[in-house]
Chains A and B, each alone.
Chain A
Amino acid sequence: MAIESERADRLEELFESHHGRLYALAVRMAVAGDDATDLVQETFLRAVRSRGPIPAGDGAERWLVQILVNLCRDRYRRRKYRGQRRAELRPVRETRSAEDAVVARDVVHAALAQLPVRRRAVVVLRELEDRDTANIATLLGMSAVTVRWHLSKGRQQLRHLLGGEETGR
């Protein structure tokens, strides 16, 4: 019982220290119909229900990020967003007003949602969170080569989706 209590305290500490960062990642990873708050909540609930040991130090962040990405993958597969979101995309080349900015943000969000989840995570961590390749590889549990491949493919897809400057090869 004492062990379980310690585990609950540890998870609460993790929540306090990581929920802001995970919320940012969830907002960027979320697709239409997903609530970033729900994603964060489900991530921590999965962490509570898990039976394995809680990683210490940087491993805790990696653990939580991987739970969040896997959760997004589950939802992505279940709802098949790729087909639903494609029709909503429309290119916006420049932003002139606040309204246009909102529209542009929605378009970028929709374009990110078109990417496969792991590729989306790589692009978000690299382009929006400015993490280096080694850090992304550690966080997502993949090799640096795979990260670079996903990054290259993701950039191609995004260019194609956002403006058509360069078609995906």
Chain B
Amino acid sequence: MNDRDSLRERLQASDPYQGEPMPAPDVARIKTRMRASAGDKHARPSWIPVAAAAAVVAVVALGIWAGSRSLPTEESLAWPELATTEGAAPELPSEPVPATDLPPVGELAQLGLVAVQPAPELPASAESSQQGAAPSETAGAADLPLAETTLAVNDAPPAAARRIQFTARRGTRIVWTLDPDFEPSTTRNSAPPARQQQGANGKW
């Protein structure tokens, strides 16, 4: 008897399987589970979990996108607080001030609030610019006499300041205040529009 036969004999003598059948309860359990598993395949097609997962991902992505794109409301944005910081331009009234609300220059002069001086003769270019548009606070106002400035303001009521604001990534809020008296000819000498940033946490 060679080694191969002896090994086979030994393995067969000590075969772990002794010919016992599978227990009947186990057979019944496996059959039940097979039917249940086949029933699951009928009840739930394979694309449903995939579609559900895709829908969840889409909803989450949409929520993140909407959260990053949402603009702060006027109530939530404390504009006066923003406007008074770092010397930014104060908010102008939303409606133009009527000319009748302003006291006449003569009364102001009698009260000593203004000093009326005779207006010097202006060059032709200055006169044309006065008729065209209201002078801005930053350009040419210091050169003009006070009376002339007051009259110019009366003639052209200030427009409401326009603000452009949006929220960038990470909640950084960017607000631009547009100069209502902006003129293309004064861009070189005038100050840039007030730009303010405020983080989402309220810190500057």
Do A and B interact with each other, yes or no? yes
B27 within 8 A of A: yes
Asked if residues A20 and B21 are in contact (CB atoms below 8 Å), the reply is yes
Is B69 located at the chain interface by the 8 A CB criterion? no
A96: Cβ under 8 A from any B Cβ: no
Query: What are 16 A-B contacts defined by CB distance under 8 Å?
Result: A11-B34, A15-B34, A19-B30, A23-B21, A23-B22, A41-B29, A44-B30, A45-B34, A48-B41, A105-B14, A108-B11, A109-B14, A109-B16, A123-B11, A127-B8, A128-B15
Q: Which residues of A contact B23 (CB under 8 A)?
A: 37
The verdict on B10 contacting chain A, using a C-beta distance below 8 Å, is: yes
Q: Do B11 and A128 touch (CB < 8 A)? A: yes
Give B61 Cβ to nearest chain A Cβ, in Å: 31
Instruction: Rank and list the top 6 A-B pairs by shortest CB-CB distance, nearest first.
Output: A108-B14, A8-B38, A27-B17, A109-B16, A104-B14, A23-B22
Give CA–CA (A7, B41) in the complex, Å.
Answer: 11
Q: Specify which chain B residues have a CB less than 8 angstroms from the CB of A127 in the assembled complex.
A: 7-8, 11-12
CB pair A11 B30 closer than 8 Å: no
Q: Encode contact with A along B1-44: 1 for CB under 8 Å, 0 otherwise.
A: 00110011011111111100111001101110111011001100
Contact A45 B33 (CB under 8 A): yes
> Contact: A27 with B12, CB < 8 Å?
no
In the complex, the answer to whether A165 meets B17 with C-beta atoms within 8 Å is: no
Which residue from chain B places its CB closest to the CB of A29 in the assembled complex?
B16
Q: A4-B42, A20-B21, A159-B7 are in contact. Are A37 and B16 (CB under 8 A)?
A: no
**Total residues of chain A contacting the partner, CB 8 A:** 39
A residues contacting B by CB (< 8 A) are 1, 4, 7-8, 11-12, 15, 19-20, 23-24, 27-28, 30, 36-37, 40-41, 44-45, 48-49, 95, 101, 104-105, 107-109, 112, 123, 127-128, 155, 158-159, 162, 165-166
Which residues of the partner chain B approach A41 to less than 8 Å between Cβ atoms? 26, 29-30, 33
Interface pair A48/B14, CB less than 8 Å apart: no
A19, B27: Cβ atoms closer than 8 Å: yes
| Pair A158/B7 contact, Cβ less than 8 Å | yes
- Of chain A, the residue at the smallest CB distance from B17 is A27
Q: Compute how far the CA of A116 lies from the CA of B46 in the bound complex, rounded to whole angstroms.
A: 35
Contact of A4 among B10, B27, B38 (CB under 8 A): B38
Q: Which of B21, B27, B42 has the most A CB atoms < 10 Å from its CB?
A: B27
Please report the C-alpha to C-alpha distance between residue A12 and residue B27 in the assembled complex, in whole angstroms: 11
